[in-house]
Amino acid sequence: MLKADFHLHTSADKFDNVVYNPEELIDRMAELGYKVIAITHHERLFYSKELDDYAKKQGIILIPGVEYNIEGKHVVVINTKVKERSTFDELRELKKKENIYVIAPHPYYPKRTSLLSKLKKNIDVFDAIEYAHLYLKGFNLFNKLAINVAKKHDLPMIGNSDCHRLSQLDNTYTLVDSEPDKEAIIKALKERKFEVKTRPLKFKTFLGMGIKSIKNILNKH
């Protein structure tokens, strides 16, 4: 099983106030035992051979990814070569041309960029719904709403951190039953050969993130 996180941000994302760079993220992911990651900056594909080689040296497979702004809503797409998409119909066409994997990130967080009602309206375009890390024991309403939709439409939940602070890592992630190869990993995801590992944030950790940081996460996501 390959430990994976498919929703990550770094200081190279011009739309976010993140302090660690891509190499620092990869180093930390390696320390935590991750074998597969996707760096998913906002609205633009961030991927290079140099970064891919750096990840390989750390024992990590780097899958190209992006968090598109689709009709004003955030959508995570991995294994893509396309820098941007602006409509759900364009995304549907992209799925016909590329072997991409489309994730509905934190769809019910109470923010304008969350999918909310557009998740159900465009449910056909999604391969999985994200089980988001930002919850507490006894308060997990937003994930519960996502789980209900996933069950109704026979979609899997996939665990990601949506990391903006390194302290967010390793609370929620995915184990993929696959050989360590990019295309094999995408195939395993589409065949639902994966499982979510998650635990609620400790209240102390939640507070340690800071109210301002939490507001920034919700405001930007």
Q: For residues 183 and 191, is the Cβ–Cβ distance under 8 A? A: no
Q: What is the CATH number of domain 2-220?
A: 3.20.20.140
Q: What is the reported pLDDT for 111?
A: 86
Domain boundaries, the chain: 2-220
Q: What is the pLDDT of residue 220?
A: 52
Q: Which residues, other chains included, contact 121 with Cβ-Cβ below 8 Å and sequence gap of 6+?
A: none
Q: Are 135 and 124 in contact (CB under 8 A)?
A: no
Q: Which two tokens stand for residue 211?
A: 């109210």
| pLDDT for the residue numbered 209 | 63
Tell me what pLDDT residue 134 has: 87
The C-alpha torsion from 78 through 151 and 72 to 133, rounded to 10°, is -70
Side-chain-side CA neighbours of 5 within 13 Å: the count stands at: 29
Name the pTM for this structure: 0.92
pLDDT averaged per 10 residues in sequence order, the chain, 221 residues: 97 86 97 98 91 98 96 96 87 95 95 94 98 90 96 98 91 97 97 97 70 56 49
Q: How far apart are CA 142 and CA 14, in angstroms?
A: 27
State the residue for tokens 């395993």. 188
